[in-house]
């Protein structure tokens, strides 16, 4: 009866719905448990195991990739940044971007440096700082580059330094001298790296530069650079060995190589650089100023052992280098062919071949932002043939000689030069004190540089140099001071400064390249002491978007020998990657227009006895260079137009410089 009661209570539709439901007659069977492995758990374990294997493989691959960058070789420390405006420091790419073909082109951008050339790149390239060639010193990995060739009278020929082998150039401009620190290229990747430059142009100019280097997994390294070029304006046959002309044409071949090993804080390496060059006669208005032809070579080599890094803690290194330079003597003269004097005795061939051995020991310690270091430099010179008896063998080592042996270059045959440096760079304050005992001329030099950032818009620098020679050398003391200040507003800056140079009373000797003046090897001119002052100025500012101006100049109260009264250099630069159009950085443009002005420079004019009786002065001139570089991916096309104004100018009296000419080429680099 229960169903009847429910039917009376429920609505009609529901009751009908209930009536239609049928009873479940399906037989229920008890579940049977089967012992099977847990499939999902095994899949999870396998997945985790695969993930761990994959993660380990990724870790090992990352470690292997990270290990492809090896420890760099120890580097020689340089000076802190003490300039009020931009520092003259160039990396490899920055050097190429300036359009410099050699070191002299690069140093033309340093205030106070005056370069002198006799022709296009096979010619003689010398540079003086504030009118003195001794104030220009060049160091390669800590080894000071000497010029023992008597033709140059201890003045370094800058064309013999290959830019292709350099990784960085740092200019330390103290008040009294300029020290140029060159750091040679050091490869760090185990992936082989190659770069080539090929260029050609007017004046039958052709050149090639290339380098290759790689590291090995055990830390060893091998690298090689080559550079070759020639000009042949007046040669009868273009190419090496052509008929000689009288425009200073010639060819230049440079090869450098390095092998070494580095791991952790320890590194050992050996480096060699060879330069072979020929130069035709360089005609001049006066026959006495003509530059004779030359065919010779220079070879620099050193071995180095270093520990630590100059950036932190202790570091030390020792270098032993050797230099040999001299002319190539023709085989027929060496064998006595065609040269007999009344018998079978061969004509004696004058030989100015010279060798120099140099050893450098350097140690220093860095903490926080301060560094103290000390060094000792030892040199020994030798000439084997046709010398006076007192020059035929090495003198006993005398660290502080009181008299000089009068050889072809008027320099002692052995010398020791200890020195020190204390430097700091704390952002708002940077300074350096450098001291050295120069037994080359028995003198002591102390340089102090200080830079203060007083406000975000105001920077001041102070520099002072003192040279105190031994009284027996005949050289007088020098005191040089420089004060500069800079004002900044956004990306624009302007600076001005004052220089004071004074010699002690007496007669000051001059060291000049004998190829640039008609003195023979036994003459050393001297002039009375003087005091002078000069004003420096510089402007660095953007002009429009990526176009900027870099200008600097120097004006002295008067012009002196090898020092123009006024020098000015202005560079209009467009340098951009246009990231808004090329976001991946596959394109860049570098366009420059460089203008230089130099007033007349006085050169010594000797009389028949070789004494100074007059000065011969070059004429003021304006000189311009236009250049364009376009990079696409890793290839760069470049073009230069030199002497764009068509000026007939000279940097050495009576020796004309080349007319307007163009060079163009391409350089590219890749990882093999």
pLDDT of residue 334: 46
pLDDT of residue 64: 60
pLDDT of residue 18: 43
Asked if residue 547 lies in contact with residue 521, where contact means CB atoms within 8 angstroms, the answer is: no
pLDDT of residue 529: 81
Give the tens place of pLDDT for each residue, 179-212. Answer: 999 999 999 889 999 999 999 999 889 999 999 9
Indicate whether this model's pTM tops 0.85.
no
For 209, residues 6+ apart whose C-beta sits below 8 A from its C-beta are 164, 196, 197, 225, 226, 227, 228, 667
pLDDT of residue 573: 97
Give the tens place of pLDDT for each residue, 376-435. Answer: 999 887 654 444 444 433 333 333 222 323 344 444 467 788 999 999 998 899 999 999
pLDDT of residue 48: 65
Domain-wise residue ranges, the chain: 89-329+352-671
List, for the chain, all residue ranges whose pLDDT scores fall below the cut of 70: 1-50, 60-67, 233-246, 286-289, 329-353, 382-413, 439-441, 471-474, 514-515, 517-525, 606-614
Q: How many CB atoms lie within 10 A of CB 489?
A: 10
Distance CA 382, CA 380 (A): 7
| % of the chain at pLDDT higher than 90 | 48
pLDDT of residue 410: 41
Which H or E run includes 569? strand 566-576
pLDDT of residue 21: 45
Domain 89-329+352-671 part of CATH 2.40.170.20: yes
Q: Which of 414, 624, 659, 616 is nearest to 518 (CA)?
A: 616
pLDDT of residue 304: 96
pLDDT of residue 200: 94
DSSP, res 506: S
Tokens encoding 322 = 């050797």
Residues, the chain: 672
């Amino acid at each position: 009866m229960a169903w009847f009661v429910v039917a009376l209570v429920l609505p009609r539709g529901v009751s009908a719905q209930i009536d239609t439901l049928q009873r479940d007659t399906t037989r229920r069977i008890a579940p049977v448990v089967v012992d099977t492995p847990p499939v999902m758990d095994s899949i999870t374990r396998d997945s985790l195991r695969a993930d761990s294997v994959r993660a380990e493989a990724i870790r090992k691959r990352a470690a292997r990739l990270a290990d492809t960058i090896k420890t760099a070789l120890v580097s020689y420390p340089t000076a802190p940044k003490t300039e009020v405006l931009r520092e003259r420091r160039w990396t490899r790419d920055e050097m190429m971007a300036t359009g410099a073909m050699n070191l002299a082109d690069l140093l033309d951008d340093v205030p106070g440096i005056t370069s002198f050339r006799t022709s296009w790149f096979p010619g003689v390239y010398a540079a003086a700082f504030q009118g003195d060639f001794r104030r220009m010193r060049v160091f390669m990995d800590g080894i000071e580059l000497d010029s023992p060739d008597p033709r140059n009278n201890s003045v370094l020929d800058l064309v013999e330094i290959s830019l292709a082998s350099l990784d960085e150039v740092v200019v330390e401009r103290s008040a009294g001298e300029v020290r140029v620190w060159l750091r040679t290229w050091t490869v760090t990747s185990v992936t082989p790296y190659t770069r080539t430059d090929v260029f050609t142009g007017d004046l039958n100019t052709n050149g090639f530069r290339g380098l290759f280097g790689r590291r090995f997994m055990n830390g060893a390294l091998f690298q090689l650079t080559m550079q070759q070029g020639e000009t042949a304006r007046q040669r009868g046959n273009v190419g090496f060995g052509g008929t000689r002309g009288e425009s200073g044409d010639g060819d230049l071949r440079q090869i450098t190589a390095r092998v070494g090993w580095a791991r952790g804080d320890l590194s050992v390496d050996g480096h060699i650089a060879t330069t072979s060059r020929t130069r035709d006669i360089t005609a001049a208005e006066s026959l006495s100023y003509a530059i004779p032809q030359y065919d010779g070579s220079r070879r620099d080599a050193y071995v180095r052992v270093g520990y630590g890094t100059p950036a932190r803690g202790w570091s030390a290194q020792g270098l032993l280098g050797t230099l040999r330079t001299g002319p190539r003597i023709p085989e027929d003269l060496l064998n006595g062919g065609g040269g007999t004097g009344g018998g079978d005795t061969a004509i004696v061939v004058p030989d100015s071949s010279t060798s120099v051995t140099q050893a450098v020991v350097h140690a220093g310690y860095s903490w926080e932002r301060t560094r103290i270091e000390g060094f000792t430099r030892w040199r020994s010179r030798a000439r084997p043939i046709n010398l006076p008896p007192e020059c035929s063998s090495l003198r006993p080592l005398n660290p502080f000689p009181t008299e000089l042996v009068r050889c072809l270059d008027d320099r002692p045959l052995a010398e020791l030069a200890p020195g020190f440096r204390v430097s700091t760079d704390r952002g708002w304050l940077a300074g350096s004190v450098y001291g050295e005992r120069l037994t080359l001329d028995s003198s002591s030099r102390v340089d102090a540089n200080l830079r203060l950032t007083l406000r975000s818009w105001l920077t001041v620098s102070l520099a002072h140099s003192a040279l105190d020679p031994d009284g027996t050398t005949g050289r007088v003391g020098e005191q040089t001071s420089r004060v500069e200040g800079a004002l900044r507003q956004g990306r624009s800056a302007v600076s001005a400064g004052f220089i004071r140079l004074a010699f002690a009373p007496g007669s000051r000797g001059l060291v000049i390249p004998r190829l640039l003046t008609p003195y023979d090897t036994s003459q050393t001119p001297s002039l009375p002491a003087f005091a002078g002052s000069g004003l420096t100025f510089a402007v660095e500012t953007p002009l429009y978007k990526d176009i900027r101006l870099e200008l600097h100049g120097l004006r002295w109260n008067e012009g002196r020998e090898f020092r123009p009264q006024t020098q000015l250099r202005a560079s209009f630069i467009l340098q951009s990657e246009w990231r808004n159009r090329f976001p991946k950085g596959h394109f860049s443009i570098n366009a420059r227009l460089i203008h230089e002005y130099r007033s007349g420079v006085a050169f010594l004019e000797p009389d028949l006895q070789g004494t100074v009786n007059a000065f011969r002065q070059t004429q003021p001139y304006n000189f311009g260079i236009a250049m364009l570089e376009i990079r696409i991916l890793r290839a760069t096309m470049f073009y230069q137009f030199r002497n764009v104004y068509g000026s007939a100018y000279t940097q050495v009296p009576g020796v004309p410089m080349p007319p307007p000419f163009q060079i163009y080429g391409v350089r590219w680099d890749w990882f093999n």
